[in-house]
Structure 1
Amino acid sequence: MKFGIMASHQYPHADDLGKHLSDLFGTVETAAELGYDSVWTINHFGSNLATPQPISMMASLIPRTGEMTLGTGILLLPLFHPVHVAEEFATLDHLSGGRVVLGVGAGYRENEFAAFGVDPDSRFRRLDESLRLIRELWTGEVVNHDGEFYPLHDATIGITPLTPGGPPIWVGAGGKKAVRRAARLGDAWYAPGNSPSKRFLPEHVAVYDEALVEFGKDSGAVERPVGVELYCAPTNEQAVEEALPHARTEYSTYAEYPALRWQRDRFDELVVNTLMLGSPEYLIERISALRDQGFNHVIFRPGWLGMPADKVRASLRLFAAEVFPAFR
């Protein structure tokens, strides 16, 4: 079992961004020293939180992460041109010594599509076409493509990836059609573990496994990442006391977007079924359930809006000391 963290670089606009980034870099360095396997950056545009952009953040994190994998969790691919993404991630692949993952998704915030003049109804077709083009461009061969959105003629990129064939591509997806798309186009499905429904993950894992077989992929060989919300303290009560107010604040902020209003209305369900706030023993039990469903890479947000960096790092240390050994 691998364990990774979200860099979670989202902050109130009025705050000191430099101070937050300094704290974040220190937290990531702590995670690297503790043996965490990966770190993931966030992508949003025109956000109600100050959100530094993910490609720049990944470049900043490369020298701070040791041997950790770095990825986007996730990049809003329909808002980027595939040539741009192919070049940027080929560059990051070299800068990191082959440690990057291109994590992508279709997006959901209406204001982001409006800002770029992109019809949101086209986002899945754009995602599909972009991923196919990126893989072609990463070969270094000349690409001719008469596509709906990104026609290319005699196109090549200036730098091919260090990793043969290019970095792995993970596709974030929530709906069953999107999960099938992840099986067809991606090297992994980046599963969202924040549904209030206990049925969500097992039902969608079944869809993914069936689609892998349909598309001729080895279901036993793919990486199985899942994103969760997690905080570790000596007791369940202490974890809830320290983390829940900050998680509630962050989820209330997300709920300002129409597509996520349900998170405010159903926050109590999220607390019970999704948020992993507890002791090492409790977290071992919850993560064992994810392992039993086939997941082998747990990626979690280690803190929420306003949480002090020392609390975040204490959680990471306790988790590494007492939970890692149960899975490694």
Structure 2
Amino acid sequence: MPPAAFHVRPPGWLGPRAGGAFAALRTWAQEAERLGFDGIFVGDRMLASARDADGREVYAASMLEPFTTLAALAACTTTVRLGTLVIVVPFRHPVPLAKAVASLDVLSEGRVILGTGVGWNGPEFAVLGLDPAERGPRFEEALEVMRALWTAEPVTRSGRFWELDGTHVSPAPAQDGGPPIWIAAFSPGQALDRAGAPSAAALRVLDRAGRLADGWVPLVYSASARHRLGAEALGRAWEHVLAGAERHGRRREDIDLVFSDWGYVLTDGASRRRCEQALAGFFAGDWADALRTYSIGTAEEVVERIRRDTASVDHVDAYVFTPLDPDPEQLGLLAEHVAPALRAG
């Protein structure tokens, strides 16, 4: 079994004025590549804030548009993978989305991983005139359309949302068949079921991942509920994903388990203060809430927490770690202490 990949994601939170944001991101990304991380991922937030189903503010900040950002990063890096975690697919028509992803894959010489999700922020659906109840079917049809277009052959199909008549997108992605598609599960606005069987809606999501995903990325924390998904619940969810894959003729080797987390490596009292300052920019809870929600502690404590959280799955194929603070020192601590331990399994 090869070592697990270890990717990083800059927190990316920005306020209304973001002067100098890319200069800092470019330096961060180049340092991540120099330190030997496998990939750099960016998020997708359209509006200036995000709220859960009850109207509570989950995030009070936003991010740069992901494909613009990744294209710029492709120009200043050479080997590191570049990905979205996640792009909200139902917000986009699949033809221009397929074109954008293929173009980015060509420009980066085959370094793209497409992390996808169905979305959860109600105001974003509302401003686009989309029905959140249709996000699952819209998502699945969009993936089918994009994968067909990435073959570089004309596509004719009649679906629930889109009709294509000899539609041909060129050039094809650098990666044969297109970039790997990761599918996320759960959302930062939910209370995360930590006990008992998954709901019927959750089972549909897990089956979708088993059927369609090259990688499954469960969200293991809830920023609004201020809790994490327990190891047993994660293990049960993964079993449902694998069962869905088997029902559709797929094997364990066909789907990666990707563990995505946010956290901070503490070294002293000053580092705790920097972590608290970073949290204040987007997290509404106190320090105790943050410790329940994210992986915060010494390098050894961060590794132990992640190992504990993944104890009920067979193995983790890739990690995506988002430092709560973009301080490049965090990259060095992750590269020296956290990534080697987790890559080793």
Same fold at TM > 0.5: yes
| Structure-1 separation of matches of 2:134 and 2:128 | 13
Q: Does 1:251 align with 2:283?
A: yes
Q: Would you say how many aligned residue pairs link Structure 1 and Structure 2?
A: 306
* Deviation sequence 1:62-116 (CA, Å, 0-9, x none): 1333311111111111110111111111111111111101111111111111111
Question: Cα 1:64–1:179, aligned 2, differ >3 Å: closer, same or farther?
Answer: farther
Residue of structure 2 equivalent to 1:271: 291
| Structure-2 separation of matches of 1:212 and 1:133 | 20
Q: Does 1:298 align with 2:319?
A: yes
Question: Cα 1:232–1:130, aligned 2, differ >3 Å: closer, same or farther?
Answer: same
Q: Does 1:181 align with 2:208?
A: yes
Q: Does 1:11 align with 2:14?
A: yes
How do residues 131-280 of structure 1 correspond to structure 2 at under 5 angstroms? 131-174=143-186, 175-195=202-222, 196=227, 197-198=229-230, 199-234=232-267, 240-252=272-284, 268=288, 271-272=291-292, 274-280=293-299
Q: Does 1:71 align with 2:83?
A: yes
Which of 114, 124, 143 in structure 2 is aligned with 1:112?
A: 124
* Greater helix share, structure number: 1
Question: Cα 1:226–1:183, aligned 2, differ >3 Å: closer, same or farther?
Answer: same
Q: Does the CA contact (< 8 Å) of 2:210 and 2:243 recur in 1?
A: no
* Deviation sequence 1:177-226 (CA, Å, 0-9, x none): 21211121121111212142414322211211221222221114422212
Q: Does the CA contact (< 8 Å) of 1:2 and 1:297 recur in 2?
A: yes
Structure 1 unaligned blocks of 5 or more: 253-263
TM-score, normalised by the number of residues in structure 2: 0.82
| Structure-1 separation of matches of 2:283 and 2:210 | 29
Residue of structure 2 equivalent to 1:255: none
Residue of structure 2 equivalent to 1:322: 337
Question: Cα 1:317–1:131, aligned 2, differ >3 Å: closer, same or farther?
Answer: same
* Deviation sequence 1:253-279 (CA, Å, 0-9, x none): xxxxxxxxxxx5x9845522x411111
> Aligned-pair distance for 1:241?
3.9
> Aligned-pair distance for 1:147?
0.9
| Structure-2 separation of matches of 1:64 and 1:191 | 30
Residue of structure 2 equivalent to 1:283: 302
Identify which range, 128-137 or 317-326, moves more after superposition. Answer: 317-326
Residue of structure 2 equivalent to 1:38: 39
> Aligned-pair distance for 1:230?
1.7
Q: Does the CA contact (< 8 Å) of 2:45 and 2:62 recur in 1?
A: no
Q: Does 1:28 align with 2:47?
A: no
SS at match of 1:97: coil
Identify which range, 212-221 or 56-65, moves more after superposition. Answer: 212-221
Q: Which residue type is aligned with residue 183 of structure 1? A: G
Q: Does the CA contact (< 8 Å) of 2:9 and 2:321 recur in 1?
A: yes
| Structure-2 separation of matches of 1:43 and 1:201 | 24
* Deviation sequence 1:19-58 (CA, Å, 0-9, x none): 2221122111111111111111111222233422111011
Q: Does the CA contact (< 8 Å) of 2:210 and 2:241 recur in 1?
A: yes
> Aligned-pair distance for 1:176?
3.2
| Structure-2 separation of matches of 1:32 and 1:142 | 37
SS at match of 1:40: strand
| Structure-2 separation of matches of 1:205 and 1:62 | 33
Identify which range, 72-81 or 19-28, moves more after superposition. Answer: 19-28
| Structure-1 separation of matches of 2:21 and 2:150 | 35
Q: Does 1:87 align with 2:88?
A: no
Q: Which residue type is aligned with residue 177 of structure 2? A: G
Residue of structure 2 equivalent to 1:61: 73
SS at match of 1:75: strand
Structure 2 unaligned blocks of 5 or more: 50-60, 187-201
| Structure-2 separation of matches of 1:213 and 1:124 | 21
SS at match of 2:282: helix
Identify which range, 92-101 or 62-71, moves more after superposition. Answer: 62-71
Q: State the Cα RMSD in Å.
A: 2.1
| Structure-2 separation of matches of 1:239 and 1:207 | 39
Seq. identity, %: 27
| Structure-2 separation of matches of 1:109 and 1:139 | 32
